Amino acid sequence: MEKVLELIRENKLMEARNELIDMNVVDIAQLLDETSQEKTLIIFRILPKDMSADVFSYLSPEQQRYIIESITDKEIKSIIDELFFDDTIDFLEELPANVVKKVIKNTDENTRALINQFLKYPENSAGSLMTIEYVDLKKIMTVKEALGHIKKTATDKETINTCYVMDKNRRLEGVISIRQLILNDDDTIINDIMDENVIYVHTLEDQEYVADTFRKYDFTSMPVVDNENRLVGIITIDDIVDIIEQENTEDFQKMAAMAPSEEEYLKTGIFSLAKHRILWLLVLMISATFTGNIIKKFEDVLQSVVVLAAFIPMLMDTGGNAGSQSSTLIIRGLALGEIEAKDVLKVIWKELRVSIVVGVALSIINFGRIYFLEKTDLFVSIAISISMFFTVIIAKVVGGILPLIAKKLKLDPAIMAGPLITTIVDALALMIYFKSATILLGI
pLDDT tens figures, 351-387: 999 999 999 999 999 999 999 999 999 999 999 999 9
How much is the pLDDT for 3?
Answer: 83
pLDDT at 318 > cutoff 80: yes
**Mean pLDDT over each residue of the chain, to the nearest integer:** 88
Q: How confident is the model at residue 194, as a pLDDT?
A: 97
Q: Indicate whether 336 and 387 sit together in one domain.
A: yes
Considering the domain architecture, whether residues 91 and 17 belong to the same structural domain is answered as yes
In this structure, what DSSP letter does residue 206 have?
B
Region 180-199: mean pLDDT is 96
CA angle 75, 30, 38 (to 5 degrees): 50
DSSP for 69-110?
A: HHS-HHHHHHHHHHS-HHHHHHHHHTS-HHHHHHHHTTS-HH
Which residues does residue 171 pair with via DSSP β-bridges, in sequence order?
Answer: 230
Q: Distance between CA atoms of 124 and 244, rounded to whole angstroms? A: 12
48-72 pLDDT, tens digit per residue, is 887 998 999 899 888 888 899 888 8
| CA pair distance 326, 339, nearest whole angstrom | 13
**The pLDDT value given to residue 350:** 96
Strands 136-137 and 221-225, how do they pair? unpaired
Closest CA to 79 of 40, 109, 52: 52
Residue 267 lies in a domain: no
Q: Which of 16-30, 82-96, 379-393 has the highest mean predicted lDDT (pLDDT)?
A: 379-393
Do 116 and 152 belong to one domain? no
Confidence of residue 257 (pLDDT cuts 50, 70, 90): low
End-to-end CA distance of the chain: give it in Å, rounded: 74
Whether 190 contacts 176, CB under 8 Å: yes
Query: How many independent structural domains does the chain possess?
Result: 3
Contact 224, 126 (CB under 8 A): yes
Residue 34 has pLDDT above 90, yes or no: no
Q: Which helix (H) or strand (E) holds 154?
A: none
Q: What is the pLDDT of residue 85?
A: 87
Percent of the chain with pLDDT over 70: 98
Last residue of a domain, one of 87, 120, 153: 120
* 37 shares its domain with 141: no
Residue-wise pLDDT tens digits, 339-353: 998 999 999 999 999
H/E element, 17: helix 13-21
Listed in order, strand segments (DSSP E) in 29-171 are 136-137, 162-166
pLDDT for 286 equals 80
Contact status, residue 343 vs residue 415, Cβ threshold 8 Å: no
Q: Quick one: pLDDT band at residue 205, thresholds 50, 70, 90?
A: very high
98 and 141 in a common domain: no
pLDDT at position 430 over 70: yes
- Residues 229 and 303 grouped into a single domain: no
Tell me, what's the pLDDT at 417?
A: 64
CATH of the domain at 301: 1.10.357.20
Domain CATH code at residue 68: 1.25.60.10
Rounded CA gap, 183 and 208, in Å? 35
Does 292 share its domain with 437? Answer: yes
Domain match, 394 and 301 both: yes
Range of the domain at 210: 136-236
pTM over 0.75: no
Q: Is the dihedral of CA 315, 316, 320, 321 positive or negative?
A: negative
Strand pairing category for 201-202 and 172-177: unpaired
Residue 329 burial by Cβ neighbours in a 10 Å radius (0-12, 13-18, 19+): buried
Clarify whether residues 142 and 116 are in a common domain.
no
Within 10 A of 72 (CB to CB), how many other CB atoms are there? 9
